[in-house]
Structures are given as structure tokens and as C-alpha cells.
Structure 1
Amino acid sequence: MTFSLSTLNTVSQKDALAMIEPLVEKSPWVAAAALTERPFSSDKHVAKALVKVILSEDMPSQVALFNAHPELAGAEAKAGVMTKESTSEQDRLGLMHLSSQEAQQLAHLNSAYKSKFGHPFILALHRVPDREALFEIFERRLKMSEIEEHTATLSEIASVISARCRHAFGDPLPSQVPNTLKNPE
């Protein structure tokens, strides 16, 4: 999904909402509140507006937002009902094609995490190089206190939103620019 900021800034509220709702996992209220900052000057401005809404909420509202996220390779993934964005992010690490051992390990981690913190584990998968790193991060975060983990989760969501905004409205990342367009060194 790629849109222009000028389109986002000039379309109706309903159309603008449809453009930015996918940037925040199943939380249209965040997108609606962020639109009050139109016109946006950059993809970073869109991301900042969305994150600002989340950070201005109380802890129970933030946890409700956390619960809108799917588990990694969880029931929503198996049922094929995750958002297009989450499906793409999880598929990049092959989470839809785990070995039986990895699937069991991830199911155990998901269950332990949800038991301890009351919401799914959220990680900005675009920053994770491989499944081994994913499992290491998951294990480490399971050892955090509730407040440390709440803060870490907010940070991960902010990173996901920034990446989604960059993809939707920003310039392509350097790795996405064809070699013919890169400046010679």
C-alpha cells in the first residue's frame, strides 16, 4: 500500500481513515484521533500523530490496543484472519512455516507471555533478522517486569507504526531502491 501525503491530506475523513487504519493494528480509534493533525508533512508526521494518540491513553486503553494484535503464528494466523500487514510481517520470518519443534516452542512462549502480561507478545518484526533472534528476544522479554514490558511493548508498536507509515507514505528504504537509482560511491 503506497499513497501520497497530498491525497491523505485532501480526501474526506472517511477515506483518510481507510488509508491510515491499517497502520495501527485493528484500532480505528487511534487512526481517527490522529487525523486531527492533518495536514501531515511527512510519513514521520503521520507516525508521530498515531503514536501520540496511543501514548496519551491510560494503561487499560493501551492494553486493549495490545490485545488487538495477533499472537505470533497463533490462532489468527492459522485461521488466515490476520491483517494483510501482520501477515506480511510474520511471513517475512517464515512464521507460517515453522518446524513442529519451533511451532511448539512459539505456542509455549505465546501462552506463557499472555499468562504473565495479559496480552499477546508484540515485536517489531522488521527489526528481527531471523527466527533464532526472535526466540531469544521473546525469552528475554518474558523475564521483564510488568512495567518494563509495557514500556517495551509501546516502543515496539511505535516502531511497527513508523515502518508501516514509511511503507505507505514515505520514500522507499535504500534496500528497496533499484541499483540503477543508487548513487555510486
Structure 2
Amino acid sequence: MALLNISQINSLADDQFVSIFGNVIELCPDAAVQVKKKGPFRTVSELCEAFHKYLDDLTEEGKLSILKLHPDLAGNLTRLSELTRESAGEQRSAGLTELSDWHVNVIQSSNQRYKTKFGFPFIICARENKFQSIIEGLQHRYDNTREQEIATGINEVKKICKLRILDIAQLD
């Protein structure tokens, strides 16, 4: 699919916009519904900022809901090939679909420890990381407070969101 320019994005009907941008924040088409109302956008960067503002404006409960929508890295959904198309590509790019059973066990046990402490999955922009940095992130971030991890997780969601938008839209 050819990348859309900002004029094409602005001319999308509401349902088309949601269909195209409905998963730039994992499994959260409401973000696209709300962002579409903020248009028209002058630039793709402004579109990205609108999605980021959507995240920033959420209550803590809303942010937790967003974080909980994300799959575990190298988790059961990965092994069962039940990730969204976007998540599958991101985990593949980080090498998480090619791990040995030992590596899968390491990451899954680390994920479970993290999830037990914080109440949501560990989120990191997989396209900007590989297995080793993900494991290091899991270990390092485990010492954070819940509030720090909510903020860090949302910042990682913003990175993921921007990269997903750039898979759809050409920069101005």
C-alpha cells in the first residue's frame, strides 16, 4: 500500500480513518475516533502529536487500560500467531519470533514477574530493541515504582504509535 499524504489522510471519511489508524495504539480504535475529530491536520507530525495528546489526556485508569491491551513480548499470542498484524511485525523485527525455548522461557518468566508487580504487561518499542535490550529493560525497569512504569509504558506506546503511523503516512 502506498503511503498516504496528509491531504489524503484529511480527506478520509471517519470510518476509513478508523479502519486505517484504528490500531496505531494497540487494539484502541477509540483513539482514532477521537483523533479524527481534531483534524484537519497540517502535517503528519501534527497527526502523531494528536495521538500522543490522546494518550497524555487519559486518566490513570485509561492509561492502564491502554497498557493492558498490549500483548506480552514473546508470549502465548506470539507462539499461537494470534497477534495483531502490527504487533507480529514488531516482535519479528526484534527477533522475538526466532527465540530458542530457553530464551522464550527467560522472557516469559521475566514478563510474568513484571506483570505480577505492576498489573500490566511490560511494554517496550520492539522495533527499537532486540532480545538482549528487552531483557535488560525488564530487569532494570522492575525496580521502578508503578507510577514510573505507567509513564514509561505510555512513552513506549507513543514510540510504537509514531512508527505505526509512519508505516501508513508519508512524512511531510
State the Cα distance separating 1:29 from its structure 2 match: 1.0
Q: Which runs of 5+ in 2 are unaligned?
A: none
1:137 correspondence with 2:137: yes
The amino acid across from 1:69 in the alignment is H
1:160 matched to which residue of 2? 160
For residue 14 of structure 2, what is the aligned residue in structure 1? Answer: 13
1:1-185 map, 5 Å: 2-128=3-129, 130-171=130-171
TM-score normalized by the length of structure 1: 0.87
* In 2: Cα distance, 1:150 partner to 1:11 partner: 33
Q: Tell me the TM-score normalised to structure 2 length.
A: 0.93
Q: Provide the C-alpha distance between the structure 2 equivalents of 1:93 and 1:65, rounded to a whole number of angstroms.
A: 22
| Alpha carbons of structure 1 residues 44 and 171: separation in structure 2 relative to 1, 3 Å | closer
Identify which of structures 1 and 2 has the higher relative contact order when contacts are C-alpha pairs closer than 8 Å and 6+ apart.
2
Shift of 1:94: 1.6
Larger radius of gyration: 1
Q: CA deviation at 1:170?
A: 2.5
| Fraction of identical pairs, as percent | 22
Q: 2:28 & 2:70 partners in 1: Cα distance?
A: 9
Greater helix fraction, Structure 1 or Structure 2? 1
Alpha-carbon separation, structure 2, partners of 1:95 and 1:125: 9
Partner amino acid, structure 2, of 1:10: S
CA-to-aligned-CA distance 1:1-28 (integer Å, 9 cap, x gap): 5323222211211111111112110001
C-alpha contact (below 8 Å) 2:45/2:171 kept by paired residues:
no
Cα distance in 2 between the residues matched to 1:3 and 1:70: 28
CA deviations on 1:119-174 (whole Å, 9 max, x unpaired) are: 1111012221x3111211111111111111111111111111111112211249xx
Distance across 2 between alignment mates of 1:137 and 1:76: 21
* Structure 1 letter corresponding to 2:120: H
Contact 2:91–2:127 (CA<8 Å) still a contact in 1?
A: no
Which structure 1 segments of 5+ residues have no match? 173-185
User: Separation in 2 of the partners of 1:13 and 1:24?
Assistant: 17
Whole-Å Cα distance in 1 between the matches of residues 76 and 41 of structure 2?
36
Q: 2:160 corresponds to which letter in structure 1?
A: V
Which structure 1 residue ranges, 4+ long, deviate > 3 Å from structure 2? none
* Separation in structure 2 between the aligned mates of residue 12 and residue 30 of structure 1, nearest angstrom: 15
| Matched position secondary structure for 2:22 | helix
